[in-house]
């Protein structure tokens, strides 16, 4: 296959529970998630209900690494992002079906329960893409690396200072104005990875534009 280097925000989370993975299971290859049950307890959850996603990620993994399986991300634009052992990150298509995992009869997913409010404990996976809320809650940004060059990309660059500040301050009502990392998942839900606190959804606020990719819905 022809590998396509992902042109957008490339996640670089170190934590194992901040990403999904493809693993061998009893019924074949499956989507897996390391789920944090409590401060000192994690459990590996898995689902076999997403064969199309498994195939798409494995196709890239085999072409890039020579073997199937391994970590991947789905970002807020439903882009499937696959890191390789070389450090290059590739695009594996779009996927908008919610991933659901069974934990003792309870469904764990990136979809926020209807009753969940900002400030509540986040009950979903910790998988997501990291951005940074600025100190003072004036803006949100990420850093984009190209070779030796690193560029700070701000939300205000694409939507203006006033609208960016509006979203930043809404998230800061829970996160605080000191700033720091925030995650957004594939269902456009925000949470604080340091405290596992729900920060709310994107709602009608502005966000970074999706990267230009062929076939985007």
| Contact between residue 180 and residue 133 where contact means Cβ atoms under 8 Å apart | yes
pLDDT of residue 38: 77
pLDDT of residue 162: 97
pLDDT of residue 146: 77
Q: The tokens of 35 are what?
A: 């789920």
200-210 pLDDT per residue, tens: 999 999 999 99
pLDDT of residue 112: 97
How far apart CA 132 and CA 197 sit, in angstroms, is 15
Residue 83 confidence class, pLDDT cut points 50, 70, 90: very high
90-120 pLDDT per residue, tens: 999 999 999 999 999 999 999 999 999 999 9
**70: which DSSP letter?**
E
Q: The tokens of 150 are what?
A: 């690193």
In this predicted structure, the answer to whether residue 12 has a pLDDT above a threshold of 80 is no
Q: The tokens of 40 are what?
A: 């000192």
| Domain boundaries, given as residue ranges, for the chain | 16-97, 129-201
| Contact between residue 155 and residue 206 where contact means Cβ atoms under 8 Å apart | yes
How far apart CA 53 and CA 49 sit, in angstroms, is 9
Cα dihedral value 135, 175, 184, 44, nearest 10:
130
Residue 81 confidence class, pLDDT cut points 50, 70, 90: very high
How far apart CA 110 and CA 130 sit, in angstroms, is 15
Whether the full predicted model's pTM is greater than 0.85, yes or no, is yes
148-171 pLDDT per residue, tens: 888 999 999 999 999 999 999 999
Q: Which of 128-132, 142-146, 185-189 has the lowest mean pLDDT?
A: 142-146
Percent of the chain with pLDDT over 90: 84
CA nearest neighbour of 120 among 201, 44, 42: 201
How far apart CA 154 and CA 32 sit, in angstroms, is 32
Handedness of CA 48, 113, 198, 98 (dihedral sign): positive
- Mean pLDDT of the region 41-69: 95
53-65 pLDDT per residue, tens: 999 999 999 999 9
In this predicted structure, the answer to whether residue 39 has a pLDDT above a threshold of 90 is no
In this predicted structure, the answer to whether residue 198 has a pLDDT above a threshold of 90 is yes
Which run of H or of E encompasses 169?
A: helix 161-175
Residue 187 confidence class, pLDDT cut points 50, 70, 90: very high
């Amino acid at each position: 296959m022809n590998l396509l280097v992902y042109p957008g925000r490339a996640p670089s989370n170190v934590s194992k529970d901040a990403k999904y993975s493809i693993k061998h299971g009893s019924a074949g290859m499956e989507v897996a998630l390391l789920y944090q049950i409590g401060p000192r307890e994690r459990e590996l959850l898995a689902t076999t209900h997403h064969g199309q996603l498994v195939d798409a990620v494995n196709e890239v993994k085999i072409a890039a690494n020579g073997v199937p399986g391994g970590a991947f991300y789905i970002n807020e634009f439903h882009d499937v992002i696959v890191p390789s052992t070389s450090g290059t990150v590739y695009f594996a298509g779009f996927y908008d079906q919610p991933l659901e995992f069974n934990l003792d009869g309870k469904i764990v997913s990136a979809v926020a329960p209807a009753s969940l409010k900002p400030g509540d404990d986040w009950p979903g996976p910790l998988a997501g893409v990291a951005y940074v809320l600025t100190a003072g809650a004036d803006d949100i940004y990420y850093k984009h690396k190209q070779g030796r060059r690193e560029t700070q990309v701000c939300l205000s660059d694409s939507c203006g200072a006033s609208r960016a500040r509006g979203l930043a301050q809404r998230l800061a009502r829970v996160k605080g104005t000191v700033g720091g990392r925030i995650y957004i998942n594939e269902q456009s839900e925000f949470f604080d990875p340091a405290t596992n606190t729900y920060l709310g959804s994107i709602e009608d606020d502005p966000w970074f534009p999706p990267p230009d990719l062929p076939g985007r819905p």
